[in-house]
Amino acid sequence: MTQAGRLAGLTAIVTGASQGIAEAIAKSFAREGAAVAIASTNLKQGQRVGGEIEAAGGSALVLRTDVTRADQVAAMVKAVLARWGTVDILVNGVGGFHGMAPITEITEEQWDHVINLNLKSAFLCAQAVAPVMMERKKGRIINIASQSGIGPNPHAPSFLPYGTAKAGLIGFTKHLAKQLGQYGITVNAVSPGTTVTPRVLQVRDEESLKKIAALNPLNRLLQPEDTAEAALFLATAEARSITGINVSVNAGTLIA
């Protein structure tokens, strides 16, 4: 970790940072000097990530948090303020789904769970940190959306609740950017394509992953670090005039 990095002296909350893309984001932020709060329901995995950050010389705070619950989100922000005094960056990295089903087989409970996990969580977390950022007249909110939120992958099956939630997250990003811009706060989204993460390996088999890689212009699957570096840029001072956009990181699988 570097004390003179691009995020030196800043404090970030990264939700869902116990694995996958959000873990890579937390580590990239810490590498660039940010103090990082890792919010996850998986305390054991969160502690692993926090321990690895601190072993490399960074500063981490691991918080067991269900970000679909307003009371737990409020407690998370309170703990970060008690530790570091402010929140400069919020990354809404929580998300995902498990399994596939056509609309005729999706239950109301499945729909609500996926929408809450991917969209409601971002609203609750942004709402909780907004007063801190508004008072200080600066801040970065970065929402991890998905290629599925732009449109269906032409080469792979999609899951309706997930694509819908991520489309909503991209819209949320744009509207929130307009609302918070007057306070010097930028709000952006990053939409990864199929990325080699533990969750993706649960819902896609090896053959489908090979097909996805073969059909994109770069002929490759994404790694978590690909999206992490895009999120890192949006968190830096160099991105101070970029707001309300969705950055596609998908190796050209979906060009829109």
What CATH number is associated with residue 168? Answer: 3.40.50.720
Residue 255 counted as domain residue = no
According to the model, what pLDDT value does residue 100 have?
81
**162 catalytic, yes or no?**
yes
- Which tens digit of pLDDT belongs to each residue from 118-148? 999 999 999 999 999 999 999 999 999 999 9
Which residue among 97, 123, 162, 172 is the active-site one?
Answer: 162
Burial of residue 233 (CB within 10 Å: 0-12, 13-18, 19+) is middle
Q: Once rounded to an integer, what is the mean pLDDT over residues 173-194?
A: 97
- Which tens digit of pLDDT belongs to each residue from 29-56? 999 999 999 999 999 999 999 999 999 9
Question: Residue 50: which H helix or E strand, with range?
Answer: helix 43-55
Residue 54 counted as domain residue = yes
The number of folded domains in the chain is 1
Instruction: Indicate if the pLDDT at residue 195 is higher than 90.
Output: no
Whole-angstrom Cα distance, residue 167 to residue 232?
22
Domain hosting 28: range is: 11-248
Residue 1 counted as domain residue = no
According to the model, what pLDDT value does residue 96 have?
87
Residue 184 counted as domain residue = yes
Whole-angstrom Cα distance, residue 50 to residue 43?
10
According to the model, what pLDDT value does residue 2 have?
54
Residue 4 counted as domain residue = no
Residue 244 counted as domain residue = yes
Asked whether the beta carbons of 209 and 152 are under 8 A apart, the reply is no
Residue 166 counted as domain residue = yes
Residue 2 counted as domain residue = no
Mean pLDDT over all residues of the chain?
Answer: 93
Tokens of residue 214, six digits: 């073969």
pTM of structure: 0.94
Instruction: Indicate if the pLDDT at residue 1 is higher than 60.
Output: no
Question: Please, what sign has the CA dihedral across residues 153, 159, 160, 164?
Answer: negative
Instruction: Indicate if the pLDDT at residue 3 is higher than 70.
Output: no
